[in-house]
Chains A and B, each alone.
Chain A
Amino acid sequence: MPKQSPIPDEVDQGFWDACNEDRLVIQNCTACDRLQQPPMATCYQCSSGASLEWKQMSGRGFIYTYAVMYDTPVPLLFEDQPFNAAVVGLFDDNGDDSGIKLLSHLPGTPLDDVPMDAEVMVEFEVTKGTGQKVPEFRVVG
C-alpha cells in the first residue's frame, strides 16, 4: 500500500537509516537495558542521552490488535480504504514481548481476517515520496 515518506529528524535518523538497509533497530538505553519507541532524545527512565544506542531486533513479533480503517485522514490512502491497520508487538532476544509496538498494514493478510496474536516478520517497503523505506509486517508460519 502507498505510504507517506517519513522525514527523519536528528533523534530518529538511526531508525530510518537502518530501514534503508533492511534492518529493524529500536532505541535502547544501555544503562537501563530498556528499549523505547518512538525514539527520544533521552532515556525516559534515567534521562540520559549518552547511553542511548540502536539495538538490532530480530524483526519477529506478534499481532497485538488491529482495526479496519474506513475513515483515514491521509489522502494518499483514500483509494485503498478500507484497510487493515494492526498494532504489532516486537519480540525481544528471548522471544518474549518486548513491550515495543509498531503499526502495520499486514501485507498479505485479507481485509478484516486478521489472526490475533499470530507471529509476524518484518519486511521493508519503499515509499514513493522520497524513497525512504518503512517497516511492515507479514504473518508467518
Chain B
Amino acid sequence: MAPEVQEMPTSWFRTAEGDGVWEGKAKTVAVGVGVSPTDRRWDSDPQTSLGAYALIAARRAIEDAGVPPDQIDGLVVVQSTTTGRAGWPQPWPDGRDVPAEMAAAFKATDDDRDGIAQLSAQWVMNNLPELSNLKFVMHAPGDTAPALVAGCEGIVRGLASTVLVIRGWHNFSGRYYVGQGEARGDTISGGEKWTTGWGVVGVYPEATRFQRYLHKYGKRKEMMANFVVNSKKNGLNFPEGFFAQNRPDDVVTREDYLTSRWLAKPANLYDADMPIMCVSSFLLTTPERAKDMKQKPVYILGHAQSTVRPRSLQHTLEESEEGAARMGRLYQEAAGISVNDLSFENMYDGYGMFHLLHLEGLGGFAGIGRGDGLEYFENEDISNDSKYPISPSGGNIGSGRTRFWLHVDSIQQIQGRAGARQMKFPAEVGISAATFPHSGVSLVWSATP
C-alpha cells in the first residue's frame, strides 16, 4: 500500500542564526541526476507532457545512480510546475479541455490537470510502478532547493534511506500576464491594484532594485554584460539545457547584450530567463548506500533558508541585500565552512540582478563584497577556467527557466563529469541557491565529508 503523501514541515528549514552546524552534515549524498528533454512550450503530445518528462527524468536519475528502483524508499515531488507566477495565470485555463490522449497514455489522478499543469506525488506513483517500496512520500513547496532539503532531511530523520526528488516545469502557448488576469479591463481588484495598476509586472521589481543599485554604487548597466555572455556560454556547454539542445548556434555577445530590447529599463531581454518545459530528478541516499552505486557521491554539508519580509510595497535593494547577507552567514554556519572553502558558486539568476546580489552576500567569495560585483564581472576572468568561476552552470539565463541547473551543475562539477563546463581548478566545495536574494534556500555540496 502506498504511503500517505505528507506536506513538508516548515520546521525542516534552517532559518535561524546561532543554530550551529547542521546535525545532518555529510550524512546524505547526491549520487544520480536525471534531466528530461527540453521544449519551449508544450505541443499537446502526451509524450512531451510534463508527466512524460517527469518519468523520463526520474528513470534517468535512477539509471544514473545505478540503484535498483525497489531500493528507493522515499519520493519528494514539487507539485506546482508553473513557469509563471503562482495563481496567475491559472494552472489550467477555464473552459479549456484537457487532451483526452493524456488519459489514455497515463494513469490519471482525480485531478485531470495532473501530469500537464501540475505534478502530484500520487501521479508519479501511479505511473512509476517500479517504485514499489516507498515508505516516505512528500510534497515540497515551491522549488528544487526545498525539495532537495526535504529529501536529505527525510534521510537524516530516518524516514527513508534512498530518496528520489522530482521537480518539473510546464509551459503553455501564449504570453504570461499580458492582458490577462487583473491586467485586463478598466478596473482592477485585489493586491494587484497597488502594482499592476501602474502597469508594472514581472521584471519590474528587479529592474528598480538594479536601478537603485547602479545609483547607490555608481555603476553602469553595461557592467553586467560579461556575466550574461559567460552564462550564455556555459549554457551552450550544458547538454541537458534548452539552448544547447535547441539553439546551439545562439551565441550571445557583449554587443548583443548591449543592444537587446528593453523590458523594463535598465533590464533587457538578456537580463531575464526564458520559460521552458523541463523536468529534473535527483537521487539522494546515505554515504554507506552510495558505495554500491555508480557515481561518485557528493556530500551535502548544509542547507539554509533566508527570508526577509518587505517593509512595504516590494522588497527594496537594501532588503534584498540584507537577505543575501543573511544567507551568507547561514550557509557557512550550517555547513561548518568559511567562504574561503568554496571552489565555486551557483547562485540563482532568474534575472541577472539576482545573481549579483546573491554573490555579494556570500561573505567574500573571490573577495567580492557589497557593491563590488559589477566591477568584478567587468575586469576579472569569471569563466570556468578561472580560480573563482561565476555561475559555472550558466543558470536560468544560460539554459532556460528551471531553477535547477545550478544544483545539477554543482553535483556534476564535483563528480568531475560536467564535460565542456568542467572547471579547470578542482571542484571541492560549492554552493547553489534559489530563488531570490530576499527569499531563498541554499545547499552546500562537497567532494568530501
Which residues of A are interface residues toward B (Cβ below 8 A)?
A: 3-7, 9, 12, 36-38, 44, 64-77, 82-83, 85, 87, 99-105, 112, 116-117, 127-130, 134
Chain A residues with Cβ under 8 A from B185's Cβ? 4, 129
Residues B188 and A64 in contact, CB atoms below 8 Å apart: no
Residues B186 and A64 in contact, CB atoms below 8 Å apart: no
Residues A104 and B198 in contact, CB atoms below 8 Å apart: yes
Residues A101 and B313 in contact, CB atoms below 8 Å apart: yes
Residues A128 and B208 in contact, CB atoms below 8 Å apart: no
The 8 Å CB contact of A7, one of B177, B189, B211, is B189
Q: Does B191 make an interface contact (CB < 8 A)? A: yes
Chain A residues with Cβ under 8 A from B189's Cβ? 6-7, 9
Residues A85 and B187 in contact, CB atoms below 8 Å apart: no
* Stretch in contact with the other chain, from B148-156, B259-267, B333-341, B361-369: B259-267
For residue B265, which residue of chain A has the nearest CB? Answer: A68
For residue B200, which residue of chain A has the nearest CB? Answer: A85
Chain B residues with Cβ under 8 A from A127's Cβ? 186
- Given A66-B211, A71-B202, A74-B196, 12 more A-B residue pairs with CB atoms under 8 Å apart are A4-B185, A5-B187, A38-B312, A65-B215, A67-B200, A67-B211, A67-B265, A73-B202, A85-B204, A101-B312, A103-B195, A116-B212
C-alpha gap A70/B311 in the complex (Å): 27
Size bracket, chain B contacts: 35 or more
Residues A73 and B183 in contact, CB atoms below 8 Å apart: yes
7 of the cross-chain contacts (CB-CB < 8 Å) are: A12-B193, A67-B208, A67-B265, A74-B197, A103-B197, A116-B211, A116-B215
Residues B314 and A101 in contact, CB atoms below 8 Å apart: yes
Residues B196 and A87 in contact, CB atoms below 8 Å apart: no
For residue A9, which residue of chain B has the nearest CB? Answer: B189
Residues A130 and B265 in contact, CB atoms below 8 Å apart: no
For residue B180, which residue of chain A has the nearest CB? Answer: A73
* Nearest CB of chain B from residue A73's CB, rounded to whole Å: 4
C-alpha gap A104/B189 in the complex (Å): 18
User: Contacts A65-B212, A67-B204, A70-B263: A100 and B187 contacting too (C-beta < 8 A)?
Assistant: no
Residues A134 and B215 in contact, CB atoms below 8 Å apart: no
Q: Does B126 make an interface contact (CB < 8 A)? A: no
Chain A residues with Cβ under 8 A from B193's Cβ? 4, 6-7, 12
For residue B215, which residue of chain A has the nearest CB? Answer: A116
* Nearest CB of chain A from residue B190's CB, rounded to whole Å: 8
For residue B267, which residue of chain A has the nearest CB? Answer: A67
Chain A residues with Cβ under 8 A from B201's Cβ? 72-73
Per-position contact with A for B296-314: 1 when CB-CB < 8 Å, else 0?
A: 0000000000000101111
Residues A134 and B197 in contact, CB atoms below 8 Å apart: yes
Residues A4 and B264 in contact, CB atoms below 8 Å apart: no
Per-position contact with A for B182-226: 1 when CB-CB < 8 Å, else 0?
A: 011111111101111111111110011101100100000000000
Chain A residues with Cβ under 8 A from B266's Cβ? 67
* Nearest CB of chain A from residue B184's CB, rounded to whole Å: 6
Residues A6 and B264 in contact, CB atoms below 8 Å apart: no
The 8 Å CB contact of B316, one of A36, A64, A66, A82, is A64
For residue A100, which residue of chain B has the nearest CB? Answer: B312
Chain B residues with Cβ under 8 A from A82's Cβ? 262, 265
Chain B residues with Cβ under 8 A from A134's Cβ? 197
Residues A64 and B212 in contact, CB atoms below 8 Å apart: yes
* Nearest CB of chain A from residue B93's CB, rounded to whole Å: 16
C-alpha gap A103/B194 in the complex (Å): 7
Residues A65 and B200 in contact, CB atoms below 8 Å apart: no
Residues A4 and B267 in contact, CB atoms below 8 Å apart: no
Chain A residues with Cβ under 8 A from B54's Cβ? none
Residues B179 and A68 in contact, CB atoms below 8 Å apart: no
